[in-house]
Amino acid sequence: MSLIEQMRGEDFAAETFSKTLDGSSHEDCLAWSRSLKQNELKKLYDAFENVKPISLETLLPQSAPDFDVVEHFGYNNLPFFRTFSKPMYRSSEGLIAGRNAQFWEFATGPGYFTVRQVNESELLVDYTVLPESKPASWPTVRSNARGLSFFVFRNLQDTLRAITDRITIGRASRSGKELPQYFILVRDRF
């Protein structure tokens, strides 16, 4: 039975499915995440509330050197341009930060963010707090409230929950109001 068939089954249980994903290859998890229907992202976000603990190490293990970029491959429930990535790094100050890499980046800007712990089962990807430093080859850090970024990243925050130690599910909010926008991230390595 495929991962998608297991998830869509009537006997779906978040903890059991999490263990199945843990035993699956990166390629299988990535293929599964990109085969999700739009409403299934919401189902997963709701199903994994308070199921697994999450920490900054879920996104970027402590063993990653400063400014070493770890890719998180994403898929969202928007009608267009559903695939993207969130490359992340740890600054020399120990802050986890990153940006959005997607088709419209040339117009919307890189969408820089920082990440902080909310509680033991949620992280906050915060586009309102920008990093002070970045990998040398990356675009300039600029305000998310300027240009076309204003319509995409202004006052945006994403809440992340763990599905496994390398897969997270998220929901966007703007100015404290939850949006019907969900996404999944599959970490590339570690």
Question: What would be the CATH architecture of the domain defined by 3-187?
Answer: Beta Barrel (2.40)
Q: What percent of the chain has pLDDT over 90?
A: 69
Whether 5 has a pLDDT exceeding 80, the answer reads yes
What value does the mean pLDDT take over residues 157-185? 96
- Structural domain boundaries of the chain? 3-187
- To the nearest whole number, what is the mean pLDDT of the chain? 91
d(CA 110, CA 134): 12
* Contact call for residues 32 and 4 (beta carbons, < 8 A): yes
Radius of gyration of the chain (CA): 16
pLDDT band at 150 (very low <50, low <70, confident <90, very high): low
Q: What is the model's pLDDT at position 26?
A: 94
More confident: 149 or 43: 43
What residue type is assigned to position 156 of the chain? Answer: L
More confident: 2 or 162: 162
**Which tens digits make up the pLDDT trace of 84-137?**
999 999 988 889 999 998 877 766 778 899 999 999 999 999 999 999 999 999
d(CA 181, CA 82): 11
pTM of the model: 0.93
Burial of 41 from C-beta contacts in 10 A (0-12 / 13-18 / 19+): buried
Which of 2-6, 55-59, 94-98, 129-133 is least confident?
Answer: 2-6
Question: Virtual CA dihedral for 156, 165, 137, 108, nearest 10 degrees?
Answer: -30
What residue type is assigned to position 107 of the chain? Answer: A
What value does the mean pLDDT take over residues 74-82? 87
Ranges of beta strands (E only) in 54-188 are 72-76, 83-85, 88-90, 96-98, 113-119, 122-126, 156-162, 167-174, 177-187
